[in-house]
A and B are shown apart, each in its own frame.
Chain A
Amino acid sequence: METKVYQFWFGDIAAIWPADAVKLAAMYGSAKAIYEASDDDIRRFAALPEAMYRELSVSKKRPLPTDRQKNMELQGIEAVCCEDEAYPRKLADLQDKPYVLYYKGALPDEKTKCVAIIGARNCSDYGRRSADYFGRELAHFNISILSGMAVGIDGLAQTACLKGGGVSYGVLGSGVDVIYPRGNMELYKRLIGKGGVISEYAPGTAAHSLHFPRRNRIISGMADLVLVIEAREKSGTFITVEAALEQGRDVYAVPGRIEDELSTGCNRLIAAGAGMAGCAEDILYALGIKDRPVKRGGGSRGKKLRDQRDSFSGGSRPGIYKALMEGAKSAEALLHILGKREVEIQDLLLELMQLEMEGLIVCRGGNYSIVYS
């Protein structure tokens, strides 16, 4: 109990200067020892940023977070310190590992493989389908999906994983009791039930733009492999990729068309040596679950695509399928692509509605797109 309080105290500081904090903690052995050491002592022994010295001395004058443990228990939040046995093995070797990890739900099981799926917030239809596919398909192979619970690829992949009956973990840039973005409330609740949410920030900490780049190292650190679905050439995703490379994690990327801005980052990654993820089997091979790589036919993705194409048969369905696979289209644009006359719009609308009812396409803001099934 006593030690926990000191760990929380030091964890709050460590969240800002993780690498230095790890060094300092190793030097003194425990958070309590650091607390009890005098300012001069610390200055003499450790080379730390000036601001950290100041923070250390100032925070010692403030009251210790003695209530935190009790409050956390009320909210079902748990914490693990890097000095503890239960600390995730994968993170333990990192230079800048988080000193304290707060979590709600559970921490990833050490025995199951864990894949981080990351990508653009404002993703395209292609990205949406890919996230859906990989999330769901990997869940079938009992692989947990790790991500940042953000809007776009992150949240979509996690949602798909849970839908596929898998386990998923979200690493947050806020306290684990702060739901950000609000739109992912539903996902947050489900993650706690099947998986967990994890953060190095103390409960109650609000989301801050500085927190997100830092939490990315935890995402890659806890994963066995990082899969990038859709990223622009300049993207926050690359912070995670860089961390993954430093930590020695495999990086895979879903390729895209060279004309798509949202795929340029991924294509560039593949050019630089990242693995190409064309189907779930590629990932399984990389993780050593499958012995042989997929040679032809596109693996499970190819089969799904063929099945899907078959369900778009009859009437103008094949034409609709072809057009929508290139990207979301409005009914107006489809009318034009299919070369129909203006008055035929009502027939097209009926056909689209039928497809929507069958769950093959979905209409978002007037644009129809194909649903991954």
Chain B
Amino acid sequence: MVTKIAAGAICGVDCRIVNVEADVSSGLPQIEMVGKLSPEVREAEKRVRSALKNSGIALPPKHITINIAPADLPKAGTAYDLPIAVALLSASGMIPEEYVGNTLIAGELSLDGKIRAVKGVLPMVLEAEKEGISKILIPRENLSEASVCKEVKAVGVGELAEVTEYLLLPPDKQDKMIEPGECKVWQENENAIEDDFADIKGMAQVKRAMKIAASGFHNMLMIGPPGAGKTMAARRLPGILPPISMEESLEVSRIYSVAGLLCDGSDLVRTRPFIAPHHTSTMQALAGGGRIPVPGLISRAHKGVLFLDEAVHFSSASLEVLRQPMEDRKLLIARSHANYEFPAEFMLVAAMNPCPCGNYPDPSKCSCTNEQVRRYAGKLSGPLLDRIDICVETGRMNVEEVVNGDKAVKGESSEMMRKEVMRAREMQKRRFAGTALQFNAQMGVKEIERFIPLDKEEKKFMEQSYVRMNLSPRSYHRILKVARTIADMDESERVERKHLMEAVCYRGIEERYRR
């Protein structure tokens, strides 16, 4: 007798429904497993055998074949334990097959029959919904992330014995035994701001630059001495981006689910991610790697902020990895058997010291030569700098500002800043309606010409600033894009001279240090 149980195979951040087939026939007692399985799936046999025994279930002494179809799709992970066990029970007639119909099962078994959390439950639920599967049986720890669809009932289980008991009940009585997880209603704006910009005293220029960066989704670079508050400011940046929407949250949670970050019973990702990889992170850690790749740190910053502290100390290979996602908003990882795609639409915030000792341009503290300063600034590669629109210096905070900054002169709060950002986003939405663009930062040369027409006066200003500021040709378009965002914040349809002037203030590092 052959039975089929639906299970989910994770491919990148997507899931494909696969069938775990079990066949019990007479012959030498043994369990045989096929279907392009990686070692951990193959090992399931031992776990299933022990778990069944320790749950008080005796397997019939028969020849059992397990196949996971389609057989040419590579399968990895431990989520197949439970579906294999259920398929066995069903094939040997211990569970009526019609009771497990239209149910997707996932879970890892431990030898004593307990069911452990698995990775990638969220993509499975979403795929199940698409495929019209009405129920998903998953480990209890994963219940929270699984309860997102109205159409798919999520049932959390803790032990194999519990599963058998549950599946022996007719479907209408099953719900009474274990109630399916309650589908949560999504609430906009529910994410409170934890780190508030109001706590930062001073740093007005950085706050202004961050507001602009957030409005136009521009990547930015902060240059400042150690202890100037670069990290503190960057940490507050996700808080001024527009609140994460349901769709965005699901996209981000998918990645986190596959990476195994939601296994501990945590909910969907409801705030914009802030990822700060250490500068020793390898290329694989950033991009994602493995025979069957898992999402790396870059993908985990999807829809949020990727903060590279001490950016010049990252290996050049690690930094070059950033180029593709910054351009395409996704990462492609090729393996011989398949290509994997991970979404990676993030805002890059890089931070670096101005010179090796960190104190430039303070002549009383900095002992670096001009040449050293220039060389240090030149460590970031041109192609990367090309994608960074805003560059700002963060001076060390004044002692007075730290000590005497009383409550009355508290700086702008994140909430106020976010409002301004939302307004500018609204302008962009209207302008880019009917195009593939969302933000000013995404404009190419053609779009810049179309959306940022300059009058004579503004053109003249750009020419003058070219000569005066020693600008490089490639910074031209970056300045225009930033000026467009500043104009959006001003709710001005036209880019005026003052917008351009401010944008020039955030010109690239190559103009400021390499002369």
Chain A residues within 8 Å of B, Cβ to Cβ: 121-125, 151, 181-183, 261-262, 328, 330-333, 335-336, 341-343, 345-346, 349-350, 352-354, 356-357, 359, 363-367
Contacts and interface: CB of A to CB of B under 8 A. Distances in A.
A330 B369 contact: no
A333 B398 contact: yes
Contacts of B216: none
19 contacts: A122-B363, A181-B370, A332-B203, A332-B394, A332-B395, A335-B205, A336-B202, A342-B409, A343-B412, A349-B205, A349-B208, A350-B501, A353-B502, A357-B465, A359-B468, A364-B512, A365-B513, A366-B394, A367-B362
A346 B468 contact: no
Contacts of A346: 208, 502
Contacts of A335: 204-205
Interface class of chain A by DSSP: helix
B371 A181 contact: yes
B435 to A, nearest CB: 29
A335 B366 CA distance: 24
Interface string B359-372: 01111101101110
Contacts, number: 98
Contact of A182 (B360, B367, B371): B371
A151 B409 CA distance: 43
A345 B394 CA distance: 13
B501 A365 contact: no
Give the interface size bracket for B toward A.
35 or more
Interface string B387-399: 0000001110010
Contacts of B501: 349-350, 353-354, 357
A328 B505 contact: no
A356 B208 CA distance: 20
A331 B202 CA distance: 11
Nearest to A123: B363
**Would you list the 6 A-B pairs with minimal beta carbon distance, nearest first?**
A366-B393, A365-B361, A330-B395, A345-B204, A342-B204, A353-B501
B335 interface: no
A365 B373 contact: yes
Nearest to B368: A122
Contact of B354 (A122, A261, A365): A365
Nearest to A341: B409
Interface in B394-435: 394-395, 398, 400-401, 409, 411-412
B502 A365 contact: no
Contact of A183 (B202, B361, B371, B513): B371
A332 B204 contact: yes
A114 B261 CA distance: 74
A367 B224 CA distance: 11
Contact of A353 (B363, B373, B504): B504
A357 B205 contact: no
B49 interface: no
B412 A342 contact: yes
Contact of B360 (A124, A336, A365): A365
Contact of A357 (B393, B398, B468): B468
A332 B205 contact: yes
A62 B400 CA distance: 68
Given A356-B468, A357-B465, A365-B513, 6 more contacts: A125-B363, A183-B371, A332-B394, A335-B205, A365-B354, A366-B395
Nearest to A182: B371
A144 B137 CA distance: 90
B342 to A, nearest CB: 36
B391 to A, nearest CB: 10
Contacts of B202: 332, 336
Given A151-B370, A349-B505, A342 B207 contact: yes
Contacts of B354: 365-366
B205 A345 contact: yes
B216 to A, nearest CB: 15
Contacts of B224: 366
B36 interface: no
Interface in B334-385: 354, 360-364, 366-367, 369-371, 373-374
Nearest to B486: A346
Contacts of B395: 330, 332-333, 366-367
A350 B502 contact: yes
B464 interface: yes
Contacts of A262: 363-364
Given A342-B207, A363-B512, A183 B374 contact: yes
B469 interface: yes
Contacts of A350: 498, 501-502
A338 B366 CA distance: 26
B138 interface: no
Contacts of A363: 512
Contact of B369 (A151, A331, A354, A366): A151
Contacts of A182: 371
